[in-house]
Amino acid sequence: MPQDQLKLLPDAELPQGFKYSSEVISPGEEQGLLERIRKLPLAEFQFHGFTAKRRVISYGWNYDFEAREVREVEAIPSWLLPLRERAAAFAGILPDQLQQALVMEYDVGAAIGWHRDKAVFGDVIGVSLLSACRFRLRRKVGAKWERASLVADARSAYLLRGPARTEWEHSIPGVDALRYSVTFRSFSEQVRH
């Protein structure tokens, strides 16, 4: 990954299994996606009784945090399939392996706290739309935290796989401008749908 495409923040060394690429889609493709996304029935994200400052919709499968299980939901719409193909090519897998899509809207100030995606999921591929965000990673090493972060620009994609997916947590601090993302996930080896 060329360093001129990657805006690492000071002292950042990216974890094994993390991949980033800028400009995975064109500005025109981004505009087409935004037109569709803005018409979606996005709902406030609910997490164990807490309402987050972001709105979401899932396709294919949805993780139910109360029941702690995945449930089948509406199929990934045809207009998202070209983006899924691009995400799969970026990750070096077949598009059909990405069985879940999550579309998110981050209003100004919206954030995602430190977490790992649920273990039922395998690869995680995120595509940023409309504005950039700071993408942070950390893992506990002894009594200290090892950290890395980068700026994920609009139209860029990241992949979490291997140690970056299973050993490291990630978060996004409050965004400065309205932002959208589309996250595609495969299922882990133990869970095949």
Handedness of CA 84, 88, 89, 91 (dihedral sign): positive
pLDDT of residue 77: 98
Q: Kindly indicate the confidence band of residue 189, based on its pLDDT and cuts at 50, 70 and 90.
A: confident
Is residue 50, in this structure, part of any structural domain at all?
Answer: no
- What's the CA angle centered on 124, arms 29 and 88, to 5 degrees? 50
How far apart (Å, rounded) are the C-alpha atoms in residues 182 and 151?
A: 17
How far apart (Å, rounded) are the C-alpha atoms in residues 121 and 160?
A: 11
Is residue 52, in this structure, part of any structural domain at all?
Answer: no
Look at residue 168 and tell me whether its pLDDT is greater than 50.
yes
- Residue-range definition of the domain harbouring residue 27: 3-39+77-187
Is residue 61, in this structure, part of any structural domain at all?
Answer: no
* Amino acid at the residue 40: L
Is residue 68, in this structure, part of any structural domain at all?
Answer: no
Is residue 63, in this structure, part of any structural domain at all?
Answer: no
Average pLDDT along the chain: 88
The pLDDT tens digits of the residues spanning 68-112 come to: 677 889 999 999 999 999 999 999 999 999 999 999 999 999 999
- Environment class of 43 (CB within 10 Å of its CB; exposed 0-12, middle 13-18, buried 19+): exposed
Is residue 96, in this structure, part of any structural domain at all?
Answer: yes
Look at residue 18 and tell me whether its pLDDT is greater than 70.
yes
Provide the β-strand partners of residue 124: 160, 185
Q: Kindly indicate the confidence band of residue 51, based on its pLDDT and cuts at 50, 70 and 90.
A: low
Look at residue 4 and tell me whether its pLDDT is greater than 50.
no
Q: Kindly indicate the confidence band of residue 65, based on its pLDDT and cuts at 50, 70 and 90.
A: low
> Domain count of the chain?
1
Higher-confidence residue of 1 and 186: namely 186
Is residue 53, in this structure, part of any structural domain at all?
Answer: no
Check which CATH number belongs to the domain holding 118 and give it: 2.60.120.590
Look at residue 66 and tell me whether its pLDDT is greater than 90.
no
